[in-house]
Structure 1
Amino acid sequence: MKKFVLLFLIFVPLLVFSQEEAWVYFNAKANEQYFLDNPSMMLSQRALDRRSTQNIALDFKDVPINQSFINTVSAVSGIKVMAKSKWLNAIHVRGTQSLINSLKNFGFVAKVDFADKTLNTTNKIVTTKSVEIQKSDLKKEKTVYAYGGSAVQVEMLNGQLLHQQNYTGSGKIIAVLDSGFPGVDKALPFKRLRDNNQILGGYNFVKRNDDIFSQDSHGTFVLSTMGAYVDNVLIGTAPGASYYLFITEDVTSENPVEESLWVEAAEKADSLGVDIISSSLGYTDFDNPAYNHNYSDRNGTSTFISKGAEIAFSRGMLVVVSSGNDGGTKSPYIGAPADAPSVIAVGAVKADKTIAGFSSIGPSFDGRIKPDVMAQGEKTVVSDENGNSIFLSGTSFSAPIISGMLACLWQAYPDKTNQEIKELMLESATKYAAPDNQYGYGIPDFGLALNKGVSLKSEKIEYYVAYPNPASDVIAVDFPPSFNSGKVLFYNVLGQKVLEKKVESIHTDFSLESLNRGIYFYHIESDSVSKNGKIIKK
């Protein structure tokens, strides 16, 4: 998250960074089968129930990291362990280059990955076109509700239609990962949350203590877009949801350790049974320029935080993040973890639904559609730590607005998976049929998503299946919103390719006019999907 340190940036090139940041990956865990046989040792019952509902099996990633390995590394004089991740079976360490490299001598160390990629001598150095990367400023949003000034940001998404049916996020838990929450324990807009015990707890990963109602106010602003409730002033998108508040961002510096703390907090959220992670943080540049994430790193698989965010989704949670505020710079692209494939990256629009100039755009470096959706992020109504309603701008506020609405939608369909809820939202959006890299799939209509969910109870869409079957001259194939590109090949009964078509959109029609009557086999392929089927042309 960008800090206001412009006066000091002039001196950054003159600094000597003697201490390096690195991730040390382990090659094993202890007592793996014991933990898999005793899942309550790893996850809360609510977390296990979420896995069961979505048919997600426990695996190696869920097993705790081996503490004896951590102790051994910690015992090395000059090495400081800053964070740990069971999902990635890694720890974040700080020390000199030589000391960190010496850790490779331990038999339990699989590899060492320096934040300064030039120090990873065994890794291939990727060269790209020269693109100037700017810091992402993610700091700088039938019951009748009196939304007051917040009406536009709720009604733009047709969120009031869910609220009117008492879908306010009740029964859902949102973890907010940010930089501080001062005033949440005292200010009027959060009184309803406090009185109803909807603040379930939290942790300050930066300070390693329970002091969450302090530090930077950014998290307070963010939380207010979801949980605040003051009639005729500000009502958030999920006033009925419950919240965990986690501080992972250190506003005094910009260091890769914040990515590791984010992943650690995401793992904690998973273990507590959280449904949605909402985070208005993103990373591109750091105090030490050697650690910067170039555009080529924003491919969904390179950065530590994006790897963690992708695993978080695989555990059954929705992960919603800000796309970034670099839209007006020479490098306008999304940051990390907005580049992760399964993450819902949210861009910002104005009250008139046109894109805000600062909103970061896509695609991800590997060419995927980003951002995913849009919500109001310019002149968003938020609460400050004193309870005053103010206007702030940034994708920091459009992301939690979407998080809150997703909680409401998921309340309406508690048996749906995170992927199904995500797709309901995407399919309701204004540009679903023709997404682009400015608006993504567009502005969701949660009223439409709610209605679509009703129809899908009786009519489940089958993806990657050609229909109608038998067919005449035209068939269609539906692809999920996460599908970006690919092709469909047709073969006759002799195995000869007779037709090849590119996938042009999520719903794609294919003409079979050139084919004779008979049986044909089709093969759908992309980077992540391979599907075979049979079609009869009559």
Structure 2
Amino acid sequence: MGNTKICFLILSWIFLSVSLGYGQDRYVVKYKYKPQTEYSLESPEEFLTQKALDRRAREGVMADSTDLPVSRKYVEKVGAIVDEVIYNSKWFNASVIVASEDQVERLKALDFVSEDGVELIAKNFHSNGNNGRSNILNFPISIQVRTKGSSEDDYAFQNGILGVPDMHGEGLTGKGITIAVFDGGFMNTDEIEGMKHLFDENKIIATKDFVLPWSDNVFRTETHGTSALSLIAANDVNTLVAGAYDADYILCITEDVTSEYRIEEYNWARAAEYADSLGTDIISSSLGYNYFNDPEMNYSKSDLDGETALITRAANIASEKGILVVTSAGNEGGGSATTITAPADSKGVLSIGSVSKDLTRSSFSSIGPTADGRIKPDLMALGSGVRLWRGSNATSTSSGTSFSAPQISALAAGIWQGRPEWTKDELVYYLLMSGSNSDEPNSELGYGVPNFELAYYGEILDVELSPEVYETKIYPNPLEGKELFIKFGHEDQCTYTLINGNGQIISKDMLSRTSNKDPYELKINSLNKGLYIIELIEGISSERHPILIR
């Protein structure tokens, strides 16, 4: 078997070299315009599935120019110049190509290409080892293999802290929810007993390899994606029962494990476009980027502002289209602040950190805040010694935020199955409010470990609990009217700042009241529906709380 594998790798390498040219570089070509002759926003059903349209209807989102494909005539003109057009990105109105330097100069002269419209995003295909690599796949910190039937205590704990058994007791297993999983490969998935039902019941509705676009096989390369998928989808009582084993799945390879270049961010964006068009509800991604083989591509801490990294901008667009994006925070938690990786800095995603079995932050779990001061990570789940599937013969344990994030994806899928009327922002709100640290969120634990019952029944609890139950209380929340009551602090004055989902300050002022026994009253006028953050400051005390405006 060893010789066979070596031969396969050699043949694969030869194929790669012949297909794209050994040493050829890859670029993104950005277009100024997006002329259309085939599609119109008046007929979105021609380029989006009904499930994608249904999600937009629920979210109150209309199809826009980002949903339209790149101009065919532009692609044909570019294709006539370059070696190959690998794929096109409609969200960024661009093409990813293979080209020589001479061809790049010819592209720059085209009148429909943006002034800065040709950018190097990857050098040749050969691996440069680990030089310049971050822990992009959040590779496991430890692996221990156990035999079947010996892991029930492990997965009972990781499920139990999230309330997954209670969720399953309500009959909520992700049925009707579509989850797209982006990773570096799903090797062994089609051979694992605990995921056999995905194939028997046709739960995998689509697969796509964006690293090798000509390949139809995503069950290759490596098992990081296999492990992440098992934490959402596995269903075998003797080994591992995950939270959303009845969901439908889209599996995409976006991470090139042989090198580290910005093309992988474009792969992720293209996969998100693909999943969006198929109507995915959730994207679960255990990938993160900050360092590359080419240091000129690296992101600094100041770039982690929720709008700079390409993958972060793609995650923002996905979120704006009503997709819940769940991503790992990163495994760089060592000393200094802001060690999260893109797209965990996105304003629109849930970035997930790791806790150990004593529910304290795992030492490796990346922390915030973002460069613009927002709290990250958002939520936590067990990431140390997680029970998962990796090989085809037995489960194992492994550690990393890569394995805490999928568990939150599964929890969200189960809750959304039971609350299909909730928008994405409402789902996010109740997940955050159910967190063990929701009273005092910070940049190490975020809002803490979420809980199914508190999230699922949160709407009822908000009605039944009186404001006096907690020292700080903001109500009614969700807000449907114009008057917000805030029970906070011990003085008769405080400062408030209202921040929208894009991190922009909407208003900032003083609040006053006649007695500290009374709540502050704040008039909310002419704000769009969605998730907001209110920051309250009294002396040296400050708190941030989410507010959902309907």
Same fold (TM over 0.5): yes
Equivalent pair of 1:328/1:358 in contact (CA under 8 Å):
yes
Matches within 5 A, 1:88-487: 88-95=92-99, 99-112=103-116, 135-136=135-136, 138-140=138-140, 147-208=152-213, 209-328=215-334, 333-454=339-460, 461-462=478-479, 465-467=482-484, 482=501, 486=505
Higher mean C-alpha displacement, 238-247 vs 392-401: 238-247
User: With structure 1 as the length reference, what TM-score do the two structures score?
Assistant: 0.79
What is the alpha-carbon distance in structure 2 between the residues aligned to residue 92 and residue 423 of structure 1?
A: 36
2:72 to 67, 91, 97: 67
Classify the secondary structure of the residue corresponding to 1:35. Answer: coil
* AA in 2 matched with 1:388: A
User: With structure 2 as the length reference, what TM-score do the two structures score?
Assistant: 0.77
What is the alpha-carbon distance in structure 2 between the residues aligned to residue 464 and residue 299 of structure 1?
A: 32
What is the alpha-carbon distance in structure 1 between the residues aligned to residue 374 and residue 436 of structure 2?
A: 18
What is the alpha-carbon distance in structure 1 between the residues aligned to residue 458 and residue 499 of structure 2?
A: 15
Classify the secondary structure of the residue corresponding to 1:206. Answer: coil
Compared CA separation, residues 293 and 198, structure 1 to 2 (3 A): same
Classify the secondary structure of the residue corresponding to 1:269. Answer: helix
- Are positions 1:511 and 2:512 aligned together? yes
Higher mean C-alpha displacement, 362-371 vs 322-331: 322-331
Higher mean C-alpha displacement, 82-91 vs 149-158: 82-91
Compared CA separation, residues 217 and 420, structure 1 to 2 (3 A): same
Equivalent pair of 1:81/1:92 in contact (CA under 8 Å):
yes
Identity %: 35
Higher mean C-alpha displacement, 404-413 vs 359-368: 359-368
* AA in 1 matched with 2:113: V
- Are positions 1:86 and 2:90 aligned together? yes
The alpha carbon displacement at 1:463 in A equals 7.6
Compared CA separation, residues 483 and 441, structure 1 to 2 (3 A): farther
Classify the secondary structure of the residue corresponding to 1:37. Answer: coil
Query: CA-to-partner distance for each residue in 1:435-460, whole Å, 9 max, x for gaps?
Result: 11111111111210011134569976
* AA in 2 matched with 1:511: S
* AA in 1 matched with 2:302: S
- 2:46 corresponding residue in structure 1: 41
* AA in 2 matched with 1:90: A
The alpha carbon displacement at 1:80 in A equals 4.5
Equivalent pair of 1:173/1:244 in contact (CA under 8 Å):
yes
What is the alpha-carbon distance in structure 1 between the residues aligned to residue 485 and residue 459 of structure 2?
A: 23
* AA in 1 matched with 2:512: S
Equivalent pair of 2:484/2:522 in contact (CA under 8 Å):
no
What is the alpha-carbon distance in structure 2 between the residues aligned to residue 220 and residue 88 of structure 1?
A: 29
- 1:506 corresponding residue in structure 2: none
Compared CA separation, residues 280 and 353, structure 1 to 2 (3 A): same
Aligned length: 470
What is the alpha-carbon distance in structure 1 between the residues aligned to residue 236 and residue 533 of structure 2?
A: 51
What is the alpha-carbon distance in structure 2 between the residues aligned to residue 436 and residue 481 of structure 1?
A: 18
The alpha carbon displacement at 1:462 in A equals 1.3
The alpha carbon displacement at 1:106 in A equals 1.4
Classify the secondary structure of the residue corresponding to 1:200. Answer: strand
Structure 2 unaligned spans of 5+ = 1-21, 122-131, 142-150, 465-475, 487-491, 516-520, 535-550
Structure 1 unaligned spans of 5+ = 1-16, 118-131, 490-499, 502-509, 532-538
Compared CA separation, residues 367 and 94, structure 1 to 2 (3 A): farther
Equivalent pair of 2:66/2:92 in contact (CA under 8 Å):
yes
What is the alpha-carbon distance in structure 2 between the residues aligned to residue 440 and residue 184 of structure 1?
A: 32
The alpha carbon displacement at 1:113 in A equals 5.4
The alpha carbon displacement at 1:133 in A equals 10
* AA in 2 matched with 1:401: Q
Query: CA-to-partner distance for each residue in 1:387-407, whole Å, 9 max, x for gaps?
Result: 411000011000000000000
The alpha carbon displacement at 1:195 in A equals 2.1
Classify the secondary structure of the residue corresponding to 1:268. Answer: helix
* AA in 2 matched with 1:110: S
Compared CA separation, residues 315 and 75, structure 1 to 2 (3 A): same
* AA in 1 matched with 2:449: I
Equivalent pair of 1:133/1:295 in contact (CA under 8 Å):
no
- Are positions 1:23 and 2:28 aligned together? yes
Equivalent pair of 2:235/2:241 in contact (CA under 8 Å):
yes
Equivalent pair of 2:288/2:328 in contact (CA under 8 Å):
yes
- 1:507 corresponding residue in structure 2: none
Compared CA separation, residues 32 and 431, structure 1 to 2 (3 A): farther
* AA in 2 matched with 1:323: A
The alpha carbon displacement at 1:190 in A equals 0.4
Compared CA separation, residues 106 and 386, structure 1 to 2 (3 A): same
Classify the secondary structure of the residue corresponding to 2:85. Answer: strand
Equivalent pair of 2:497/2:506 in contact (CA under 8 Å):
no
Equivalent pair of 1:379/1:393 in contact (CA under 8 Å):
yes
What is the alpha-carbon distance in structure 2 between the residues aligned to residue 452 and residue 480 of structure 1?
A: 23
The alpha carbon displacement at 1:352 in A equals 1.2
The alpha carbon displacement at 1:467 in A equals 3.7
